[in-house]
Every structure is written in C-alpha cells, then in structure tokens.
Amino acid sequence: MHKPTTLRARVAWPLGLAVVFLAAARTTAFADDAQTIAWRRQAIAVSPDTPRGYVEYQNSCSVCHGPMPERPGTRALAAKYKGSLPAMLEDRTDMQPEFIRYIVRNGISVMPPFRKTEVTDAQLDAIVAYLTRPRR
C-alpha cells in the first residue's frame, strides 16, 4: 500500500483502498492485444497448434498479467522494474522455471498462491514452458 505517513492514512481507507492514491500517471504506453480482447469477448481462438501453455496462461494469468496498464500484475511490475525489465510476463526472457513455480504456489504482495484445484501441476508445467519458451 502507499507508504502511509500517518495512522489516518494507514488505518482507514474510506470507500476502499484507493483514497490513498493520487492521480496515477500513466507513464507506460500499452498496445491493445488482439488475443486478450478476443479472450474477453469471444474466448481464446484456439487451434490444434496453439501451445497449451499459452491457453493456460490466458485462462489463469493474463487477467492480471495481460497487456493493458490497468491489469494489476502488469501495472505492479511496470512500477517495480521501471523499464529495466518488461512489465508483461510474456515478454520476459529472464525467468527461471523454479521462480515461476514458486511465485504461483506462494504468491507475492497482493497476489495470492494458487491451489492445485485452480492450477494443477500439469497446467503449471505448461505455463512455465510457455513463459520460458525459446525466443528468436
């Protein structure tokens, strides 16, 4: 949460959390992603060739880590890395499989851990494979 300087700010946020925020500057430009919009509107267009990890990622992760600035995960990582790493997880090439597994099963900050009834070990393997796929 916004670093509070008084108990007033710390203890009570009338009408939710956001009153401690000032107007947020949208410093990062994000392009619309056709696939994400498709997910919202018509579901993912899946062909037999679509990598399973891509589908699992869209189902379980992109709602927070998708390509729009209001997605909480993307927004958080943009603030964390300030451009030194991509805010979009799908653009990252530095993540190790164990790191991804640890975060999914332990959570971080306001992101809670995911139970195995939500993301099975097999689904997690597919997500890991997608996020660590070889890039050209």
31 binding other proteins? (CB under 8 A): no
Tell me the backbone φ, ψ of residue 2, rounded to 5 degrees: -50, 130
In the structure encoding, which two tokens stand for residue 67, read together? 């390509």
3-class DSSP assignment, residue 111: strand
CB of 31 within 8 A of CB of 15? no
DSSP 19: G
Alpha helices in 71-135 (DSSP H): 72-81, 97-106, 121-131
In whole angstroms, how close is the CB of 57 to other proteins at the nearest point? Answer: 14
Q: Is 29 in the site for other proteins (CB under 8 A)?
A: no
For other proteins, which is the closer residue by CB, 28 or 96? Answer: 28
Q: Which of residues 63-82 bind other proteins (CB under 8 A)?
A: 63-64, 68, 70-73, 75-80
Q: Give contact residues for other proteins (rule: CB under 8 A).
A: 1-3, 6-8, 10-25, 27, 32, 37, 39-43, 63-64, 68, 70-73, 75-80, 105, 107, 109-118
